[in-house]
Amino acid sequence: MKIKFFATIAAISLVALAGTRFSKAQTDTKATTKEVMNMKLDYSHYILNAVATGNFSLMSENAEKLSQLTQLSAWSGHKTTEYEVLSAEFRKHADALAKAAKERNLDAASLAYVQMTLSCVNCHKYMRAGNKTGEL
């Protein structure tokens, strides 16, 4: 019982922190790509926690936040066709994850999470290939 209570408190704290970061990025037109990518990583962690615990509301909320991040100017720092395709693929999987969570379909949510994560890996590989420093 104590473990479940502390897990709930931790999840609420993480969601509050994520909401604060996202609000800052939404209102701060000068959010950097690094800040947006850190938010993406945070939301992805919350989703993994939600998938593992079956917390559909946390899953849906963070998947929607991920999809919204792709609309920020700091997200689309590269104007290539390949980057646009990779971003659209990521957004499609984030939206599918949010939909599956709302439908309380853990199998579909898990698959969408894996596909979304693979789209991140593919995009980061693409970015490193075109960047001499190996960083985004």
Mean pLDDT lowest among 78-82, 88-92, 110-114, 123-127: 78-82
Closest CA to 125 of 63, 70, 83: 83
The rounded distance, in Å, linking the Cα atoms of 136 and 126 is: 10
Q: Is the predicted pLDDT of residue 77 greater than 80, yes or no?
A: no
List pLDDT tens digits, range 12-56: 555 555 454 445 444 445 678 889 889 999 999 999 999 999 999
Share of the chain above pLDDT 90, in %: 51
Q: What is the pTM of this model?
A: 0.73
Domain segments of the chain: what residues? 2-129
Task: State the pLDDT at residue 29.
Answer: 52
Q: 3-class SS at 54?
A: coil
Q: Give the residue with greater pLDDT, 89 vs 135.
A: 89
* Domain 2-129 listed as CATH 1.20.120.290: yes
Q: Give the residue with greater pLDDT, 92 vs 3.
A: 92
